[in-house]
Structure 1
Amino acid sequence: MTRIGLGYDIHRLEKGRPLIIGGVTIPFDKGLLGHSDADVLVHAACDALLGAAGMGDIGEHFPDTDPRYRGADSIDLLKTVYAKIAKEGWALVNLDATIFAQAPKMTPHKEDMVGRMADCMAVERHRINIKATTTEGLGAIGHGDGIAAMCVALLRSATTTNEL
C-alpha cells in the first residue's frame, strides 16, 4: 500500500536570526522567525510525512506552546518524525519539495539540504528532490518578507514487497 501527504510552511524573515533551510545555514542578512529554528523546508517535509502516514501534523507532535521546542533544530524534529512513521510501518518512496524565496538564491545549497535531510532519515539521497523558485516579486514572499516551502511525500507500507 502507498499513501501520499502534502506539507506547507511559511515564516517571516527578520534581522538578527540565522537563515536555516533544509538543515543548512545560509548566509543572509535575515533569518526566519519561529518558535524553533523556523526551517520551512523541514517543517513542510515533516507535515508531508505525517500526513501520508495519517499521523496528524507537526504542531500536534511539537507544539509551539511547549518550551522544549523553543529554538529546536528542525533536523532533529524530522529525525523524530521519520522514526515515528517507520515505527508505524511506513518507508519513504520519495519526497519532492519546492522552496519559495525571492532571495537568497537556493540553488547553491540544494545538494547540502538533500544530504542533511537524507542523512537524518537514513534514506538514499535519490529519494529526495528539492527545487526552488521566486514569486517574481509578487506578494509577501516576492517583497522579501518571508520564505515558504511545499512538500509532497510518498510512503509505502514496509510490508509491501514490490518497489515503486
Structure 2
Amino acid sequence: MTNIRVGMGYDVHQLEEGRDFWMGGIKLPATKGAVGHSDADVLIHAICDALLGAANMRDIGFHFQNTDNRWKGMDSKFFLKEVTRMIAEKGWKVGNVDCTICLEKPKIGPHIDAMKQAMAPLMNVTEEEIAIKATTTEKLGYVGREEGVNASAVVLIYK
C-alpha cells in the first residue's frame, strides 16, 4: 500500500502602496504589495504550510520565524525549496498541489503559467501537478477593499 497524506495551508497578508508584489514566486505588476517579514508571497507560504502539515512537521513560522533576521526580505522560493527538501528527508514526495488566491487586483489569470514554471522545479513536480485558481470577494471584506490578500492550498504527498 502506498502511504499518502493530504495537507491544507492558508496565509494572509496586508497590502500596502509602493511595495513589490510577489505571488507564486514571480513579481506581479501592481501598485500595492504584500507586507511581511520575507517577500510576503502569500501563495508560497500557504503551499509550505500545506506540505509541512501533511508531513506532520508544524508550520512555516515554526521553521522560519518572522523574528529571525536571516529571513528578512527573503525570496519565498527559498522556503518552498527548503520545505520540499525537509519533507523529502522523511521520505515524502509531492504528488499535487491545488491552490486558490483571493485578491481583487491585479488579475491573476495571465500570470498562472509563470507561477507554475517558477514553483514546479522547487517541488520536483511538473507544472501539470500544480493547479492555481483565483477569485475575488466581490468587493466584500478586507480583500474587497484591497487591504489584503489570502491564499489557500491543499497538497497530496506520498511515500
Q: Equivalent of 1:2, from 1, 4, 17?
A: 4
Alignment map for 1:5-154 (pairs within 5 Å)? 5-154=7-156
User: What is the TM-score when the length of structure 1 is the normalising length?
Assistant: 0.94
The answer to whether the Cα contact below 8 Å between 2:103 and 2:136 also exists between their aligned partners in 1 is yes
User: For the residues of structure 2 that align with 1:121 and 1:151, how far apart are their CA atoms?
Assistant: 14
User: For the residues of structure 2 that align with 1:128 and 1:68, how far apart are their CA atoms?
Assistant: 29
CA deviations over 1:28-60 (Å, ceiling 9, x no partner): 111000000000000000000000000000000
User: For the residues of structure 2 that align with 1:122 and 1:3, how far apart are their CA atoms?
Assistant: 17
Identity level (%): 51
Q: Does 59-68 or 122-131 show the bigger shift?
A: 122-131
SS in 2 for 1:140: helix
Q: How far is the alpha carbon of 1:17 from its aligned partner? A: 1.0
Q: Which runs of 5+ in 1 are unaligned?
A: 158-164
Which aligned runs of 4 or more in structure 1 are off by greater than 2 angstroms?
none
Number of residue equivalences: 157
Q: How far is the alpha carbon of 1:88 from its aligned partner? A: 0.6
Q: How far is the alpha carbon of 1:24 from its aligned partner? A: 0.8
User: What is the TM-score when the length of structure 2 is the normalising length?
Assistant: 0.97
SS in 2 for 1:95: strand
Q: Which runs of 5+ in 2 are unaligned?
A: none
User: Corresponding residue for 1:162?
Assistant: none
